[in-house]
Each structure stands twice: as C-alpha cells, then as structure tokens.
Amino acid sequence: MNMPKVTRCDATECSYNMQNVCHALAITVGDETHPRCDTFMSVGKKGGDMGATAKVGACKVANCRYNQSFECTASGIQVGPEADEADCLTFEPM
C-alpha cells in the first residue's frame, strides 16, 4: 500500500501550510463521522519539513469509498474548507 500524497491544501492558516502545500510528513484524516484533517493546527508560526509534501498516514472515515481498513487508497487527496476549515475534499461517501 502506498500512502497518497496531499496534492493541495487550501487551509492556508494551518501551521503546516506554505503556499497551498502541506509540509507535515504525514497527516491523519477524520474522526469516525467527518473527513476533517485531524493534523490541522494554527499556532501562529509555520512548521513541518519544507522539503517534504505530506502524505495520508491514516484515515478514520470508514464510510469513504477510498477507505480500506482505515487507510486511504485514493491516488492523492485535496484538502480545503468545506463543512470545516480543513476537510478532505476527495471524500466520497459510500
């Protein structure tokens, strides 16, 4: 299984976000019901690895068609504001 890349994130207020790229090494998505980026944080300073683009390390949203055993099988995901300030926009309910 390959970890899918976060190809774009529009939650620019997140500390891991620089010019719509997520620089966390890996993110976790969701609680059991909502596909929010659980790694989002806004602490007034930027962080992460500027040489890296984040991948999806784990996803708790079992009712997404891309979710297999709490891992994401999409080829890549996009994150941005929807119901929450940083939601997985690639989420597709089953």
36 lies in the binding site for ligand SF4 (CB under 6 A): no
87 lies in the binding site for ligand SF4 (CB under 6 A): no
Name the strand (E) or helix (H) holding 44: none
Cβ 56 vs Cβ 29: under 8 Å: yes
Q: Give backbone dihedrals phi and psi of 16, rounded to 5 degrees, phi first.
A: -90, -5
For ligand SF4, the closer CB: 11 or 82? 11
CB of 42 to ligand SF4, least distance (A): 8
11 lies in the binding site for ligand SF4 (CB under 6 A): yes
Cα 84 from Cα 25, distance rounded (Å): 22
Closest C-alpha among 57, 55, 77 to residue 66: 77
Summarize as ranges the residues that interact with ligand SF4 (CB under 6 A): 6, 9, 11, 14, 16-17, 22, 24, 27, 29-30, 35, 37, 39-40, 54, 56, 59, 61, 64, 66-67, 72, 74, 77, 79, 86, 88, 90-91
